[in-house]
Structure 1
Amino acid sequence: MRSLFSIFSIFFRLGCWSFGGPVAHLGYFQREFVDKRQWLSEQEYLELIALCNFLPGPASSQTGMAIGYQQRGVLGSLVAFAGFTLPSMLLMIAFALLMTTQLSNDLEAILHGFKLLAVVVVADAILKMLRAAIKSHWHSALVAGTAIAVLLLPGAAAQLIILLFAAWLGYLFMQPKIYNQTHSDLSEKSTSGAKVSQMAAIAFVAGWALLLVASWLLPSTAWLESIYRVGATVFGGGHVVLPLLSAEQSITSTVMASELLAGYSIAQAIPGPMFTLASYLGVMLGSGVLGGVIATILIFLPGWLLLLAVLPHWENLRSNRTLRGILGGVQLGVIGLLAATLYSFVWVGTVNAAMDMAVVVGLWWLLCSLKWPVWRVVLVAGVSGLVAFAG
């Protein structure tokens, strides 16, 4: 059994260099926990991704929480979340306090190199997922069809509908034999597992109700409910957070659109989950460092509670024939979604010239062929970004 400190330290290290957004995070998790440490199999990892993409909340962070839960239960999930989120939260709070909206040219160049590395990490993760999940031409057709649909019909609502359609196709046509019948450590850790699930579901509803009452009694606290509600209802990952938060009157009445966009840009440039945009907003809304911490907790809390409500029953759920078919369709749909996201959110705006493509190829060779450790490739990526910008 892994210690809580080791779980925290591993996730903290990942939180310090996981550039590239939610899809890249899944790639880093695969390399660390499937390929390197073998804490779970590729099939189990795919199932986790499918489950977390089907729940509202920050899918990549929820995947990390689930991996922590696998190792040490509820405390493990909290420690994994804290380790992965802490670097990004601190950076976003610092940016808000310093009102930093402009980066130096050299720093922009280094961050550009990190984004080029994210292209490699995401592409490598997608290829590995394809090798693990594709068993027939029908499977590849579903992946390709999902990717095409997501590219032609962007938006969180469209993505959810597409994944629901993939789930329906899985229910109709997916054969249970494609699943490896391996034991999952995501099942109940003790006889209290069902109670944990019930308490998490109750806390999810009760927390929302309390924040609604507080926002009615004290209108100045309405932004707390807004941030919790966004965390409880967002589908599609960190990129969807901006349009949802920008629609909240309790936030936009205080934070100008330019300030919101500046925070969003910073959240994309730094490592870790993009949901820490809430950390920035908590400070900007006049509540200082404490407000930033509270906002961080509130935007991640509902996704964590929903995950706890499901994970103790995961072993029973994953052995259900009907659910296995549905989940198989969702798994393939998620791979198609990630492939489309590789282009629309990772590639576009990052690979803009021949020099960028040359850096991507070089980083691919170092990471995937020579099998260099990620920290060493991160250093090379930063230097390459400086060279690419200079060119």
Structure 2
Amino acid sequence: MNASIITLWTIFYRFFLFGCVSFGGPAAHIGYYRKQFVERDRWLDEESFARMVALSQFLPGPGSSQVCAAIGYRKAGAVGATASFLGFTLPSFLLMYALARFSAELMDLPFTLTLIHGLKLLAVVVVADAVWGMAQRFCTNRLQWGLACFSAIVLLAWPSLWIQCVVLLIAAAIASRYPQGGAQPVEGTLLRWPLILFGLLLLLALWPGAGPMRQSFADFFQTGALVFGGGHVVLPLLQETVGEAMSADRFLTGYAAAQAMPGPVFTLAAFLGVELHPQSPLLGATVATLAIFLPGILLMLGFYHAWEALASRPRIGAAAAGINAAVVGLLLSALYQPVFISAVRDGADMGLVILGLYVLRGRQWPILGLIGLMLVASVGRFYLG
């Protein structure tokens, strides 16, 4: 078998596994990526990973999916980005599609909720590990520790997307005043084809046209191009998109289910696509999902090389280091809200989190082993009361 095909299959398979178990939102997803692709597989170094995360904070679209596509692109170009995106998104897409087509009753079963709760505890462990590991790498002096703490304190007190952007800009401005030499310059320019494709699709979305499927593409693409932040931010835009075509109860059922699913919350678009196009449910789900994800991913790929080149300049590199430190604080705030407070309900849950941290960092268990531990422990608690 061709080596490139093996590489693409590896990318798809790794991200598909993450898509099946990655509960906890973007912060948890980034933690999974870091543990697997930076520490274990060494597909990229810590600095490159941090720059991906930092860039995703300034672009519209789902941040963890943008980082996912960037990792795939770094490994195997545009086809690698496609493989990583499809692998990570496919599990939650299929679950949301099945939920819209059939029934939400399975999600309400006590045993199902128990499994989901175990995976939420897994997310606490993974995010805590990511915060610790990134802090060790990116908070190496008093300034960087101060920026990380400043970021965490502000975002814990005022958890807002706009506050997050302001905090990152302040961190960049402060850190840029203390440039350090020694960085090797990196060549890189804007990658044109993703930006050209983004522009053409945006024109198509804005151009008046007839047909319900065309309108769905336009609505969801515009939503994906406008939303900065995670699933909570996209909620009001999607509510406006579906308008009176769907009852508020049905919309909120889909949104609640998306919160309980692994993978990106933006796959709520699959649920909405089925509801909006009952005569062509699979096509409707596919069009809506691709339309909402494409803007952010195309922009990520378009700016990726230029961002890498900018970050190699002393002052810009210092600013990027400040952003990296602030991202540590951002992840720390996300560890508390929503990851920790939505998962840890009592002392026994906290005990499982501590056990998970021990086997992950102290015993170097792989992620799949940790998943099994959390699921078995949660099921055992379920049956033992």
Provide the TM-score with structure 2 as the length reference: 0.91
Report the equivalent of 2:204: 210
* 3-state DSSP of counterpart to 1:19: coil
The superposition leaves residues 179-213 of structure 1 with CA deviations (integer Å, 9 ceiling, x where unpaired) of: x84798xx76xxxx86xx22221221221121122
**Matched residue, 1:105:** 110
Q: Corresponding residue for 1:331?
A: 324
Task: Kindly provide the CA deviation profile for residues 97-147 of structure 1, in whole angstroms up to 9, marking residues without a partner as x.
Answer: 113154200110111011001000000001000000012112111111111
Q: Does 1:96 align with 2:100?
A: yes
Within 1, Cα distance between the matches of 2:62 and 2:328? 17
- Cα deviation for residue 388 of structure 1 reads 4.3
1:376 deviates by: 2.0
Equivalent of 2:298 in 290, 300, 305 = 305
| 1:241 pairs with 2:241 | no
Matched, 1:168 2:168: no
> Is 1:32 aligned to 2:36, yes or no?
yes
In the alignment, which residue of structure 2 is the partner of 1:320? Answer: 313
| Amino acid of the structure 1 residue aligned with 2:194 | A
Which ranges in structure 2 are unaligned for 5 or more consecutive residues? none
Q: Is the 8 A contact 1:17 1:271 kept in 2?
A: yes
Q: Does 2:168 match 1:142?
A: no
Q: How does 1:352-391 map to 2 (within 5 A)?
A: 352-389=345-382, 391=385
User: Which residue is 1:66 aligned to?
Assistant: 70
- The size of the alignment, in residue pairs, is 377
Aligned residues of 2:185 and 2:313 also touching (Cα < 8 A): no
Per-residue CA deviations over 1:284-307 (Å, capped at 9, x if unaligned) read 112411111111111110011101
1:315 Cα deviation after fit: 4.1
SS at match of 1:348: helix
| Residue 176 (structure 1) shift | 3.1
Aligned counterparts of 1:315 and 1:366: Cα–Cα separation in 2: 35
Structure 1 unmatched runs, 5+: none
CA distance, structure 1, for counterparts of residue 353 and residue 34 of structure 2: 19
Alignment-derived partner of residue 253 in structure 2:
262
Kindly indicate whether residue 57 of structure 2 is the aligned counterpart of residue 53 of structure 1. yes
* Higher alpha-carbon deviation: 124-133 or 155-164: 155-164
Name the counterpart of 2:337.
Answer: 344
- CA-CA distance at 1:15 after TM superposition: 1.4
Q: Which amino acid aligns with 1:24?
A: A
Match of 2:72, SS state, is: helix
SS across alignment from 1:312? helix
- CA gap of 1:269–1:174, structure 2 versus 1, over 3 A, is farther
Residue 156 of structure 2 is matched in structure 1 by 151
Amino acid at match of 2:275: M
* 1:24-76 residue CA offsets vs partner (Å, 9 max, x unmatched): 11111011111111111112211111111222211111111111111111111
1:160, CA displacement in angstroms?
1.9
One-letter identity of the residue aligned with 2:195: A
Q: State the alpha-carbon separation in 2 of the partners of residues 297 and 174 from structure 1.
A: 42
Instruction: Quote the Cα distance in structure 2 between the aligned partners of 1:35 and 1:183.
Output: 25
Q: d(CA) in 1 for partners of 2:32 and 2:23?
A: 9
Contact 2:183 2:313 in 1 (8 A): no
Query: Contact 2:179/2:315 (CA < 8 Å) preserved in 1?
Result: no
Q: How does 1:285-296 map to 2 (within 5 A)?
A: 285-286=276-277, 287-296=280-289
Across the aligned residues of Structure 1 and Structure 2, the Cα RMSD in angstroms comes to 2.2
Q: Is the 8 A contact 1:263 1:280 kept in 2?
A: yes
CA distance in 1, matches of 2:73, 2:178: 28
- Once residues 342 and 254 of structure 1 are traced to their aligned partners in structure 2, the CA distance between those partners, rounded to angstroms, is 36
Using the aligned pairs only, state the percent identity. 39
Q: Residues 252, 53 of structure 1: CA spacing in aligned structure 2 closer, same or farther, 3 A cutoff?
A: same
